[in-house]
Amino acid sequence: MTTATDLREGAQGFRARNLEPRRSTPPEEQGRRLATLKRPKDRAEIRLTWCEYEGHPYLNIRVWAEDHDGQLWPQKERGFSIRLRELPDVAEAIAEALALADQHLANRPRAGGGRRESVPAPGTDFDEFGGPA
C-alpha cells in the first residue's frame, strides 16, 4: 500500500529529474568564419561566415547573442545571406562607405595641437545610434 510519505518522495524525485532547467549547447557554426565584430554593449557579436548550401556558396552575416548562461546563439531574425552574384555590388557599396568615412573624418574639426575634439575615450566603441557604446 502506498503511503503519503511514499507519494511525497516520489513527487520530489520526479521534480528533481524532470523540472530542472535543461542545459543545451548552441549549434556549431557552419562554414569558415571570416570576421567577428564584437558588440559588448549588446552581449553579442556579428559573424561573417563563408558557407555553402547544396553546392552554392554564400556569405552569411548573423548576430550571435549571449543567453543567460553566457553562451552565444545565432539569432534567426538578425542575419542575412549574400549570394555570390551579389558580392561585387556589396564590395562596391563598402568601398563607397569607406570613402565616405574617410571624408567624414577629414572634415571633422580639430582642437589645438592637431588632436580631434570628439575622439572617443580609449576603450570605448562608437554607437551609431547615440554616442559612445
**pLDDT of the residue at 69:** 85
3-31 residue pLDDT tens: 889 888 888 888 777 765 666 888 989 99
pTM above 0.75, yes or no: no
49-107 residue pLDDT tens: 999 999 999 999 999 999 988 899 999 999 999 999 999 999 999 999 999 999 999 99
Task: Give pairs for 49-53: CB < 8 Å, separation 24+.
Answer: 51/81
Give phi and psi for 113, each to the nearest 5. 85, 5
Query: What single string gives the DSSP state of each residue in 24-45?
Result: --PPPPPSEEEEEEEEGGGTEE
60 close to 31: Cβ distance less than 8 angstroms: yes
- Domains annotated on the chain, with CATH: 28-108 (2.30.31.10)
What Å distances lie between residue 43 and 13, 28, 36, CA to CA?
Answer: 37, 19, 13
DSSP 116: B
* Distance of alpha carbon 93 from alpha carbon 99, whole angstroms: 10
* Distance of alpha carbon 66 from alpha carbon 45, whole angstroms: 9
